[in-house]
């Protein structure tokens, strides 16, 4: 490469950069505007949904609506207390089933890389894609039919099956954020693998574990289809109540549905805020 040709190449590059400057500036602005529009468009439904639910639901909401048991149609003063406690019980039970199993499975996936781990990971992905109504039928066949009874346990089982694959993959992701070098640091101190898993991997991943599991929980709280097959009455869970009352023509039933929807929304919101605070406190309190 001669000096002269290098110089002329520099001139060429400079000229091209200068010439295209206006065009590049316009494309940049356009792209920015497009992003802004997309951002607003994606938030708009959420805002509308919140506004609509709050404005319709707030009219119904009262202390008695929360603490009173449902009354037969036509009798005033009824509430949704059974649906609230039912939902809480079902979700709580589902968490007790799903969280430990998911954690152990994720630990297994984190530590092993063999064929069994690959098979487990694959089946988790398949399970995550199974429609929730099929999981409902499965719980019906497995727990309702043999026991001749609808039950919160059957509903919780269905929700647990629904949450498991999401939790497993979220937990494994969280553990993978704990780098291999930390795992090795534990091993190099003479620790056994199980101990490193508990003290280094789980502890380090705790904030991420909490946030990851929250997504699965939020998904399960809002599920209706698995409950259709496992609960005897609509007033046994909030989503079921919204589904049955919301599709009725009577204004009173519709109002109940809106009120319940608002309570459910608040429930999910509260759950996310609580989990965020928990994750934040855990990561701060480095004990």
- For binding to other proteins (CB under 8 A), which residues are involved? 179, 181-182, 184-192, 195-196, 199-200, 203-204, 206, 283, 286-287
Task: Give the Cα separation of 279 and 286 in Å (integer).
Answer: 12
Closest approach, Cβ 101 to other proteins, in A, equals 23
Is the Cβ–Cβ distance between 222 and 238 less than 8 Å?
Answer: no
Given the complex with other proteins, which of 2 and 113 has the nearer CB atom? 113
Q: How far is the CB of 207 from other proteins (least distance, A)?
A: 9
How many other C-beta atoms can be found within 10 angstroms of the C-beta atom of residue 85?
A: 14
Instruction: Find the shortest distance in angstroms from Cβ 114 to other proteins.
Output: 12
**Cβ-contact 83, 260 below 8 angstroms:** yes
The smaller minimum CB distance to other proteins, of residues 115 and 287, is found at 287
Residue closer to other proteins, measured from CB, 74 or 190: 190
C-alpha distances (whole Å) from 43 to each of 47, 50, 57, 263 are 6, 11, 21, 21
- Which residues neighbour 259 within 8 Å (Cβ) at sequence distance 6 or greater? 57, 60, 61, 65, 80
Cα separation of the two ends of the chain: 63
Q: Shortest gap between Cβ of 219 and other proteins (angstroms)?
A: 27
Of the pair 271, 278, the CB lying nearest other proteins is at: 278
Contact 162, 226 (CB under 8 A): yes
String of DSSP letters for 119-154 = HHHHHHHHHHHS-HHHHHHHHIIIIIHHHTS--HHH
Q: Which is nearer to other proteins, 250 or 280 (CB)?
A: 280
d(CA 94, CA 181): 35
Gap between the Cα atoms of 244 and 151, Å rounded: 18
Alpha carbons 159 and 265: distance in angstroms, whole number:
18
- Nearest distance in Å: CB 104, other proteins: 20
Give the nearer residue to other proteins in terms of CB position, either 144 or 196: 196
Nearer to other proteins, 187 or 268 (CB): 187
CB of 211 vs other proteins, minimal distance in Å: 15
Q: What share of the chain is helix, strand, coil (3-state, %, to 5)?
A: 80, 0, 20
Q: How far is the CB of 282 from other proteins (least distance, A)?
A: 8
Structure tokens at 142: 């497995």
């Amino acid at each position: 490469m001669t000096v002269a040709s290098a110089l002329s190449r520099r001139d060429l590059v400079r000229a091209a950069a200068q010439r295209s400057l206006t065009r590049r500036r316009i494309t940049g602005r356009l792209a920015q505007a497009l992003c802004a529009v997309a951002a607003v468009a994606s938030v708009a439904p959420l805002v509308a949904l919140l506004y609509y639910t709050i404005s319709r639901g707030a009219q119904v909401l009262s202390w008695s609506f929360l603490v009173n048991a449902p009354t037969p149609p036509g009798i005033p003063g009824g509430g949704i207390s059974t649906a609230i406690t039912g939902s809480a019980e079902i979700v709580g039970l589902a968490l007790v089933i799903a969280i430990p199993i998911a954690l152990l499975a994720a630990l297994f996936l984190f530590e092993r890389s063999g064929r069994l781990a690959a098979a487990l990971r694959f089946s988790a992905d398949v399970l995550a894609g199974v429609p929730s109504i099929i999981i409902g039928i499965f719980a019906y066949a497995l727990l309702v039919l043999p026991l001749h009874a609808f039950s919160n346990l059957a509903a919780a089982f269905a929700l647990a099956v629904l949450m498991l694959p999401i939790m497993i993959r979220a937990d494994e992701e969280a553990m993978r954020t704990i780098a291999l070098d930390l795992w090795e640091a534990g091993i190099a101190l003479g620790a056994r693998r199980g101990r490193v898993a508990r003290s280094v991997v789980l502890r380090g991943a705790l904030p991420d574990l909490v946030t990851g599991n929250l997504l699965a929980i939020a998904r399960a709280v809002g599920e209706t289809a698995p409950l259709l097959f496992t609960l005897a009455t609509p007033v046994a869970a909030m989503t079921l109540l919204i589904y049955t009352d919301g599709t009725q023509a009577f204004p009173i039933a519709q109002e109940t549905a809106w009120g319940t929807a608002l309570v459910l929304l608040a429930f999910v919101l509260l759950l996310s805020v609580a989990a965020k605070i928990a994750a934040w406190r855990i990561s701060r309190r480095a004990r």
